[in-house]
Amino acid sequence: MTAQTSGGDGPRTDTVAAVVRQWQDVHPGLDTGPMEIIGRINRSAALLQQAEDAPLRRAGLSRPEFDLLGALRRTGHELTPGDLARETFSSGAAVTKRLKQLTERGLVERRGDTRDRRVVHLRLTDAGRDLVDGILPEQLTYETGVLSVLDGEKQGELASLLGELLTRLEGRLGALRV
C-alpha cells in the first residue's frame, strides 16, 4: 500500500501521506509501507495526547495520573511503586512524582511494610476510589466519541490488528529490555 491509495477509498490526504509522497519524490524506489503504519500510529497518539482527555482535565488529572489511580482500582489490592511502574509502563521516577501529587490530593494512601521499612504499599483512599469510579464512565464516553469516526466493525478490526501488533512487540521488544 502506498500513500496514494487507501484500499479503494481514494487518495489519502492525512499528514503522513504528504510526508510519504515527499520521500517517494526524493527516493522513488523506497518502500515507505512501514512509515505509513508507524507514522500514522505515532501521529494518532500525539493528537490523542494533545486532546488531553477532557473528562480527566476537568477532574484535574493527567492521563498518567489517572492510569496510576486506575491500576490501583482495577487490581483491587495494594501495590508498591515498582508494581505501579510495571502496571502503567512508567519509569520509577515518574511514578514517584505522580504519587507525591496524588497523595497530597488525598487520593492515594501510603503504608509502610511491617517487615521491610524500605517497602511502601499504596492504595486508593475512599476519595480516590470515588473519583475513579465517577470519572471512568465519562472517560469511556469521551473515548467512544473520539472513535466514532470509525464504525463498529472498523473499530473491532483496528482493535484486533493493534492487539496483534502489540502482542508481538511486547514479546519481541520486552525480551530486549530484560
Q: Give the list of residues 6+ apart from residue 137 with CB closer than 8 angstroms, or none.
A: none
Longest dimension (CA), the chain: 66
Helix (H, G, I), strand (E, B), or coil: what is residue 109?
strand
Q: Over 70: is that where the pLDDT of 9 sits?
A: no
Alpha carbon distance 24, 22 (integer Å):
5
Alpha carbon distance 87, 70 (integer Å):
10
pLDDT at 176: 52
Q: How many Cβ atoms sit within 10 Å of the Cβ of residue 128?
A: 22
What average pLDDT does the chain have?
88
Q: What are 125-159's pLDDT values in tens digits?
A: 999 999 999 999 988 888 888 899 999 999 999 99
Q: What are 58-82's pLDDT values in tens digits?
A: 899 998 999 999 999 999 899 999 9
Q: Over 70: is that where the pLDDT of 2 sits?
A: no
pLDDT at 5: 43
pTM of this prediction? 0.76
Q: How would residue 52 be classed by pLDDT, with cut points 50, 70 and 90?
A: low
Alpha helices in the chain (DSSP H): 15-26, 33-51, 54-58, 63-75, 81-88, 92-104, 126-147, 152-177
Q: Over 70: is that where the pLDDT of 178 sits?
A: no
Q: How would residue 47 be classed by pLDDT, with cut points 50, 70 and 90?
A: confident
- The predicted model gives 33-46 an average pLDDT of 92
Q: How would residue 6 be classed by pLDDT, with cut points 50, 70 and 90?
A: very low
Alpha carbon distance 31, 40 (integer Å):
16
Q: Over 60: is that where the pLDDT of 94 sits?
A: yes
